[in-house]
Every structure is written in C-alpha cells, then in structure tokens.
Amino acid sequence: MATIDLTSPAPAAQGTLEGLPRRLALTRPELERLAQAAGGAPLPFEIVEPAAGRAANALESRLGQSRGAAEDQAYADAVATLHDPEESLVKRGLLVDGTADPGVVGALGLLATPAAALDLDVNIDGTRARAWHRQRDGAVATLATTDGVVFELAWFESSHWPAELARVAGLPDDDASDASGVPEAIDLPYELLDAGSEAVRSGRADLLGTIVAHHGGQVHDSTGETVPDATVSSVITALVSETRGRLRGLVADIDGGSDVVGVVSWVLLADGWHVLRSHQVDDANRVDVRRVAATELAPTLGPILAEVTA
C-alpha cells in the first residue's frame, strides 16, 4: 500500500468537482436508517439510549432531577422532534426504494471495515466535538458530531486528509490569540509537569516551588539552554491557568488487531494550540511542549499513521 503524505495539501481539482470531499448532514435516526440500508453496517460509536421518561428515584424525588437525568431528558426530547428518517431520506434522494445512495453505502462500509482508525476528541470552552476517521486503500470516511443529534458524514481520497484534519483543530476566525506565559517551545521532565500541575490546581504554590527546585537544571528552552526555576514555575502555572481546550487523537491499527499505536495530545492556551510530545532521554520520561497551528495536526499524526498505512 502506498504511503500517505499528510504533510502536503491536496492538489486542486482541475475544472471539476470530482475528487473533492463529499459531506452530508444527517440526524441520528437518518444515520441509523442508512446504516441499516447499508447491510447493517456498525457505526463507530456505541449508541446508548437515554433513560427518558423513567421514574425518578427516591433521591431525585427529594432533591430534584440530577444533572445527568436532565441532560438525558433534553437529548431524548431533541431526538423525538426530528422528522421521520425514512421520509426525509427519500425526499433528499438518499434512499430510493429502500436502497441507499451508493456513495453513502461506501462511506458507511469504510467506517465499518477500515485498515486504520483515528478517533479525535476536542473540547473547547466546554463544547465537545468527536470525530471518527477511518482509512483503507487510499480512501477515508469520517463521521463527526458535537451533540449526538446531528452528524456530518464525509468521504474523500486520502490526499484530502490533511485539510480535513485541519478542520478538526480549526478555531473560529474571531478567536483572537493573546500573549501566553508558555514559550513557543520548552522541554521538561514528565514528573515535574505532572506533579507541578497538580500543585497549581490544588493552590499549593509553596509545593510547586519545592517540586521545581527538585528538578533544577532539567528544563530546557528551544535552544537547549537551561530555564531558570522561577520561569519554570511561571510556565507550569500558565499551562494550568490558561488551558481552555484540549484535543486528543488516538490511532489504532485495525488490520493488525485493533492495537493502539499512538496518541496525540494538544492543549489550547491563550496564544493557541500547543502539542505535548512525550519522549525519553537517558531512560527519563520527558515532555516537549511546543506551539502549533491547526494545519500541523496532520504532520503531527503523520508518523503514527504511517505505521499502519504504509
């Protein structure tokens, strides 16, 4: 199988719309109906029906409806207001005499039987989006949602994958970046980052100083120079206080037995995304924190995906 280049954008189509990604917005009932028409193709997520209309337990009867129960009820109400999937799909031409659109069938089939799987989970300011990317034989199918009610189904050639990945990490145009207390690049011991972050979250500034001093001389900037302890404390504090979003990517080799081959982790700080890369130096676990743009998600995932797509 040919290696997929995730570092370059896809070439523009020459005068036609052929080869461009095709997208469909589908409600959950529509998606389930199409999956049924595609031979019962399994979807890449588990469908858990909310406990709508259930009787309140004794505790809820005394203290009121719990947050989880209220969210379940709201979700069930939203799904209940949707149009009949059979009728809406027929009107859209996606279902004809019980037969689903061939492109949709192919996309759902790819989602069900990929060679490589990439699950993306993005949470920004409390809004969560999930996306499932599946690849095989030069083709990719994706499914994404922010609310579990409406989904975007897309399919395209692998050459368009970098641009599609950039869409996942893209920020609103009006999301202006501010100055950050975290430098463009810094490399520090994992133990320091883990324990120091917990000290900041716990409001233990005194403990943070002790932890930083214990790792004195072990933090380096982009040039390899040692970062002073006072600066390290400020950087760790900024990493915790500025974080307003996270992105996590999980890559699995389906043909190889669904083994997880790598994880990518980004955090959204005041000045934008920063990637956290774990690595080892002399058997010591370290983390490289580096500022990245949304378009760098594909190159970040590239080495991991190459293990299962090459």
Q: How far is residue 218's CA from residue 208's CA, in Å, rounded to a whole number?
A: 15
Average pLDDT of span 283-299: 94
Cβ(248)–Cβ(239) under 8 Å? no
Q: Is residue 14 part of a domain?
A: no
Q: How far is residue 114's CA from residue 126's CA, in Å, rounded to a whole number?
A: 31
Tell me how far apart the 2 most distant CA atoms of the chain are, in Å. Answer: 71
Cβ(160)–Cβ(23) under 8 Å? no
64's CB contacts (< 8 A; 6+ apart) are none
Domain boundaries, position 141: 22-46+66-169
Asked if 204 and 153 sit in the same domain, the reply is: no
At which residue do the structure tokens 């399919």 appear? 155
Asked if 85 and 135 sit in the same domain, the reply is: yes
pLDDT digits (tens, 9 = 90+) for 245-273: 999 999 998 887 767 778 999 999 999 99
Q: Is residue 5 part of a domain?
A: no
Helices assigned H by DSSP within the chain: 28-37, 58-63, 67-80, 85-91, 102-112, 161-169, 190-201, 205-214, 229-241, 297-309
pLDDT at residue 95 is higher than 70: yes
Angle of the 205-214 helix axis to the 229-241 helix axis, nearest 10: 130
Q: How far is residue 1's CA from residue 19's CA, in Å, rounded to a whole number?
A: 20
178 vs 4, which has greater pLDDT? 178
Q: Is residue 97 part of a domain?
A: yes
Please report the pLDDT score of residue 13 as a whole number: 42
Asked if 134 and 233 sit in the same domain, the reply is: no
Asked if 199 and 95 sit in the same domain, the reply is: no
Percent of the chain at pLDDT exceeding 90: 64
pLDDT at residue 173 is higher than 70: no
pLDDT at residue 70 is higher than 60: no
Asked if 138 and 217 sit in the same domain, the reply is: no
Task: Tell me how many domains the chain contains.
Answer: 2
Asked if 120 and 157 sit in the same domain, the reply is: yes
Tell me which of 140, 169, 198 is where a domain ends. 169
pLDDT at residue 139 is higher than 90: yes
Asked if 36 and 108 sit in the same domain, the reply is: yes
Identify the weakest region by mean pLDDT among 71-75, 186-190, 271-275: 71-75
